[in-house]
Amino acid sequence: MISQTEENYLKALFALTSTKGEASVNELSKMLDIKMPTVNGMMKRLSEKDFVIYESYKPLKLTEKGRKEASLIIRKHRLTEMYLVEKMGFGWEEVHDIAEQIEHIQSPAFFAKMDEILGFPEVDPHGSPIPDENGKVIVKDFDRLSDCESGDVVKFMAVKPSSEELLKFLNSRELVLGAVITIQSVELFDKSMSVNYAHREMEVLSNMVCEKLLVEHVAK
């Protein structure tokens, strides 16, 4: 059996290792806001249980078992977020904290039902992919809007996990997933962009915002 606490460590480690494949105790400690010695001890426990590869002074890695376990928790989290938005009427900025709790519910039937009711969605309300029942994820590597150029026409596909505030900002600009964005111009000194989308024209998006928006180039 695996505790909620352990699940949270695995999830955080999964997020940290998804880029470089490894992470430090220090990074994990900061991400979870738990002191290093505590994290260290937990890494030993999780390595004992074969979820983590831990060797003194070496970077942390997840085992295949650990990766799968983490993916399945993320699956439950993202299915829940989708359910809350699609079936209960929550805004995409409201669902993270609730899903953070519901992801620990032990009931395959419950999540299977959600999945079915939602019609087996592939992404959550923020565009992040939902791992399948075996923990497999199809990762699409979108471009950051901030890496695009003036004249590009792109489709808004996902938001990088960030603050509720960013989501509220996007709400206020009516910038929703799927929107087709045309980049009118890019400011040289601060890299802010003027963009058009839907019925909105010349909306200015700061570079901080553009770095969080993931897009796909649209055929010209």
Name the site residues for a second copy (rule: CB under 8 A): 84, 87-90, 94, 97-98, 101-102, 105-107, 109-110, 113-114, 117
Shortest Å distance, C-beta 24 to DNA = 3
The answer to whether the Cα torsion of 145, 147, 149, 153 is positive or negative is: negative
Nearer to DNA, 88 or 105 (CB): 105
| Dist. CA 46–CA 92, nearest whole Å | 33
Tokens 């983590």 found at? 52
| Amino acid, single-letter form, for residue 118 | L
The one of DNA, a second copy, none whose footprint includes residue 113, by CB under 5 to 8 A per kind, is: a second copy
Q: Look at strands 200-205 and 193-197 and give their pairing.
A: antiparallel
- Name which of 29 and 185 has its Cβ closer to DNA: 29
User: What string marks each residue from 169 to 208 as x (binds DNA by CB under 7 A) or -?
Assistant: ----------------------------------------
Write each residue from 13 to 42 as x if it is in contact with DNA (CB under 7 A), else as -, in one continuous string: -----------xxxx-x---xxxxxx-xxx
Kindly report the backbone phi and psi dihedral angles of residue 2, in degrees, each rounded to the nearest multiple of 5, phi listed first: -125, 130
- Residue placing its CB nearer to a second copy in the complex, 114 or 145: 114
Find the binding residues for DNA in span 82-141 (CB under 7 A).
none
Nearest residue (CB) to a second copy, 87 versus 136: 87
CB 156 within 8 A of CB 212: no
Exposed, middle or buried by CB within 10 Å (0-12, 13-18, 19+), for 163? exposed
User: What is the CB neighbour count within 10 angstroms for residue 71?
Assistant: 22
Contacts of 166 (CB under 8 A, 6+ apart): 159, 209, 212
| Of 52 and 85, CB closest to DNA | 52
Residues in contact with DNA by the rule CB under 7 A: 3-6, 24-27, 29, 33-38, 40-43, 45, 54-59
